[in-house]
Amino acid sequence: MTTEIQLRDVRFHAFHGVSPQEQLTGNLFTIDICLTAPLHKAVASDNPDDTINYAEVYRITAEEMAIPSLLLEHAAGRIMSALKRRFPQIEALEISLAKLNPPIPNADMHSAAIKLSEHY
């Protein structure tokens, strides 16, 4: 049995971007994280020690989002690496990272996003 743990529509103000203005003022970002792990012990035990603490997943994500990157791909890749280091039992991980209202001239859009997925 595998279990998915999902954090959806997590919001951050961060300083990712290529333009000097983005690096100075930042922007709003949203992240969706889905991790898959064999958490059958938690299903049976009801013991928090047998699962992956989603508050810890959030904390790690927030730490990585606080480090500016030029590219969304790089920021998401750092988050993936940090989560896998902390929780080696992860079997699959998917992260979608979106920049809201990206500064593209004459563009009217909600967001620009990337999605990374890895199976271990």
Is residue 24 within 8 A of residue 105, CB to CB? The reply is no
Distance CA 1, CA 94 (A): 19
Residue 55's φ and ψ, nearest 5 degrees, are -65, -35
Each residue's pLDDT tens digit in the chain (120 positions)?
A: 789 999 999 999 999 999 988 888 999 999 999 999 999 999 999 999 999 999 999 999 999 999 999 999 999 999 999 999 999 999 999 999 999 988 888 989 999 999 999 999
Give the number of residues written for the chain. Answer: 120
CATH architecture of the domain with residue range 3-119 = 2-Layer Sandwich (3.30)
- The pTM for the full model equals 0.93
* Six-digit token string for 7: 């954090």
* Six-digit token string for 53: 């603490």
Q: Which of 41, 84, 99, 115 is catalytic?
A: 99
User: Does residue 84 have an active-site annotation?
Assistant: no
